[in-house]
Amino acid sequence: MTGATRPRDLRFVGVDPVAVDIRLPNEAARYAASADVDAPLVGRANYGPFMDAKTEELRAAHDVLAEFYAHRLADALDDMPAERAVLGLFCDLTLAADLGTNVGDVGCGTGRLEPYLAARGLSPQGIDLSPEMVRVARRDHPHFGFDVADLRGLPFGDASLAGVVCWYSLMYLAPHDRPAAFSELARVVNPGGYLVTAFKAGDSQVRRGGGSANLGVEFDVYWLSPIEMERRVMDAGFVTVFWGGRPAEGQEGSPQGYLLARRC
């Protein structure tokens, strides 16, 4: 894959947790009931000024979805050659930059990417808005660090990371939140470090996600256009190294996009 690869040139089968209809009617009640949030974990969450009604809806929905995602997506990366290739390129370039191995997995969910990143030589630290996602990530991947935090106020120091991974985690940003969020990503990445993101490529209009899980939760999602995604990254202080994508497969609702960029 090269930086000149066009979004429709990569034709691999993958799974997206929001787009794919992964209903398990007999198990829905069990997953919903298991999403009790640990009180001490909630107490450590620092959302600052960001906890508006839409953020609370998103957080609460992902608290319910945490066990469901853990059950269905734990080994999903094994069947995603395009995703592994893009993540592998990120790992190789990050290590070659010689800025250390510390990377942030921003919007880590249940922590399913951490073993892959670590196996490629990186030291990932996961954060997620949902306390229940973080609880499940700590349970299932106890050798890695996970914390509750908001993308718009990252708990990392300036230029403290060699890179950041945003794997389907930028699609929840409303238009007015995007400049500050992308600036936060640029703030924490050391110049010469890398950002990689996977996203559902669309028209940047708001949609309602989560309903296909059949757990009674929904939330706003934005399928950003590849043009907007690249512009946001570049405006924040990155330069594009690679971009690509693949057409929708199966029950996916949109093409999938990938962008890898270097901090200026």
Tell me the residue ranges of DSSP E strands in 65-201: 102-106, 123-128, 145-148, 161-167, 189-200
Task: Please say whether the beta carbons of 35 and 64 come within 8 A.
Answer: yes
- What pLDDT does residue 203 have? 94
CA–CA distance from 172 to each of 13, 26, 115, 151, 214 (Å)? 23, 29, 25, 10, 20
Domain ranges of the chain: 25-263
Note the CATH number of domain 25-263.
3.40.50.150
- What pLDDT does residue 49 have? 58
List the chain pLDDT tens, one digit each, 264 residues: 433 333 333 322 223 343 333 233 333 333 333 434 343 343 344 555 567 899 999 999 999 999 999 988 888 999 999 999 999 999 999 999 999 999 999 999 999 999 999 999 999 999 999 999 999 999 999 999 999 999 999 999 999 999 999 999 999 999 999 999 999 999 999 999 999 999 999 999 999 998 888 888 899 999 999 999 999 999 999 999 999 999 998 878 899 999 999 999
- What pLDDT does residue 38 have? 43
Q: How many CA atoms lie within 13 A of 161 on its CB side?
A: 26
- What pLDDT does residue 48 have? 53
- What pLDDT does residue 30 have? 37
Task: Please say whether the beta carbons of 73 and 17 come within 8 A.
Answer: yes
